[in-house]
Structure 1
Amino acid sequence: MRMSPALETVLAKAGLQVTPDEFLTLVADAAKRLAPPSPEPAGYFNLDEQEALTDVGLDLSPHGPADDQSRARTVVAHAVLRDSAVTVAEAAQQLRVDTSRIRHRLAMGRLVGWKDRGSWRLPAWQFAGAGVLPGLEAVLAAVPDDQPALVVAGFMTTEQADLLVDGVPTTPREWLLAGGDPRRVTALAAQLGTPA
């Protein structure tokens, strides 16, 4: 079956080095790894727990059609993050170091990554040329430990109103690449996962 030329164009413009078939496989894989399509939150708790949770204002109602768009965005973001991530060997080659140095940096929290089928994957946003993003170590130290790679990637690649370059909001990654003060990004990164 021939894939849509529109999808090929979108993937090319996004700089993703993947065929449409491979991209759709990544999306399907991401969808399987994330929450089931129609979760029933109440089913995870006994009756006493359900009552206690609803008493404090939590909504345990079933998944609704309005949630589909958000889930679709998350699945696609996860697929793109996974596709654009590099292996330990690729990161070592880019940084011109031994693979053991990359694993050490991961263990020390100086690089971010996740295990995928037993092998490390490192999101590409944290690299810049033959080095790492300026201020990366400070930013990663500020990110709360419970924040997954997808959340950190989303933060680092989404425009922030508090980070202005020539009066225009920019992403934390662009801010750091432009020589912006890493402390501005660390202050924002420390707030990840906290209510607005």
Structure 2
Amino acid sequence: MRPSLSEILARAGLRVDPEEFLTLVEDAARRLSPADPDPAEYFAPAQRAVLSDVGLDLSPRRPEERDSRARAVAAQAVLRDTALTVAGAAERIGVDTSRIRHRLAENRLSGWKDRGGWRLPVWQFTNTSVLPGLEAVLRATPDDQPPLVVAAFMTTPQADLLLGQDPTTPRDWLLSSGDPTRVARLIATLGTPA
């Protein structure tokens, strides 16, 4: 027997009504690229020829192929669902909401405006404070990187950040008193060609 959406959300630790979660998924899907894009349309004829010559398939997705956007849509929905409001962030770190807005204006906290106001990704907080070294990391974060990319970076183990012998996430590195300049150097390269 398949588990219900309510059971899956509960197992994942997401405190959200299933209907609200489905609305988040729908919103995230709408914000992404079209459902059935034609990759060739993104390139000039000369570019298409070169890409085809090196073996890239620029044909539209076939009906039987899995939608590559599904993982991104789910990740975006979870990011939005777990993000804190200004009031939630203020309560978490024990300050007034005006302090949170001030930190957002100064890029000392990361967030985005949503239809209900500011949303702040939870990765940048501990249970009672702001992540140690956060300001240095945010100063180095390229402005063109969306919150989902930054969240993925901060919560994915990085080979250049070792705790003992094991790669760790930038978030865990900072929580273990790791040097924030190492994380800042890594995050500064987001979006740049390898």
TM-score in terms of structure 1 length:
0.85
Of 102, 120, 123 in structure 1, the residue corresponding to residue 121 of structure 2 is 123
Shift of 1:21: 2.8
Report which stretch shifted further, 49-58 or 109-118: 49-58
Tell me if 1:178 matches 2:176.
Answer: yes
The within-5 A match list for 1:2-41 is: 5-41=3-39
Report the equivalent of 2:146: 148
Query: In 2 relative to 1, CA 181–27 (structure 1 residues): closer, same or farther, beyond 3 Å?
Result: same
Cα distance between partner residues in 1 of 2:58 and 2:111 = 34
Tell me if 1:61 matches 2:58.
Answer: yes
Unaligned 5+ runs, structure 2: none
Shift of 1:67: 7.6
Shift of 1:147: 0.4
Shift of 1:12: 2.0
Shift of 1:172: 0.8
Shift of 1:68: 4.1
Report which stretch shifted further, 17-26 or 135-144: 17-26
Query: In 2 relative to 1, CA 179–123 (structure 1 residues): closer, same or farther, beyond 3 Å?
Result: same
Query: Relative to total residues, which structure has the larger helix share, 1 or 2?
Result: 1
* Cα deviation code 1:24-75 (max 9, x no counterpart): 221122111211111235546xxxx713544775979354259845311100
The percent identity for this pair of structures is 62
SS at match of 2:160: strand
TM-score in terms of structure 2 length:
0.86
Unaligned 5+ runs, structure 1: none
Q: AA paired with 1:50?
A: A
SS at match of 1:18: coil
The two structures, once aligned, show a CA RMSD in angstroms of 2.5
